[in-house]
Amino acid sequence: MVGIFDALLSPVTDIVSKVVDRLVPDNAKSKEIKDEVEKQLALASIQGQFAQIEVNKVEAANPNLFVSGGRPFIIWVCGSALAFQFVLAPIGLWVGQIVGHPLPVAPTLDDHLWELIVGMLGMSGWRSFDKMNGVASK
């Protein structure tokens, strides 16, 4: 999953590259500086991701439903939306046609739901990893 920090890396690297090219005339030294800056930015991104994982672990272990229940709620909402979109609505339309009462076509879900589901499934993978390692909350 790409975080906000990762999305900012490319523009920052481009800006740093232009500044270094103007300030350092030696191509070898300029490349060395740019490589070091890119390495430090990537390291900061990885550290940020690990920090987010630790926050996720603390939230998931919290016995308060309003803290630890957010992800399960979103997963249930996404699952319900998918069930409606791909199971209930088509069967309902089909049954309506069979009994002679055609139903209007239900609104469809857009790609934003898929983005949310993919992100949540990635996070729930970490939760499964936590459960396998005995970090599961009550």
pLDDT score of 99: 95
Q: Is the pLDDT of residue 137 over 60?
A: no
Torsion angle (degrees, nearest 10) of CA 126, 132, 136, 138: 140
How does residue 1 score in pLDDT terms, banded at 50, 70 and 90? very low
For residue 38, give every residue at least 6 positions away whose Cβ sits within 8 Å of its Cβ, in sequence order, or none. Answer: 13
Please indicate, yes or no, whether the overall pTM of this predicted structure exceeds 0.85. no
CA atoms within 13 A on the CB side of 60: 21
Average pLDDT for 75-104: 88
Rounded mean pLDDT, 70-80: 81
Q: Is the pLDDT of residue 30 over 70?
A: yes
Neighbours of 127 (CB within 10 A): 19
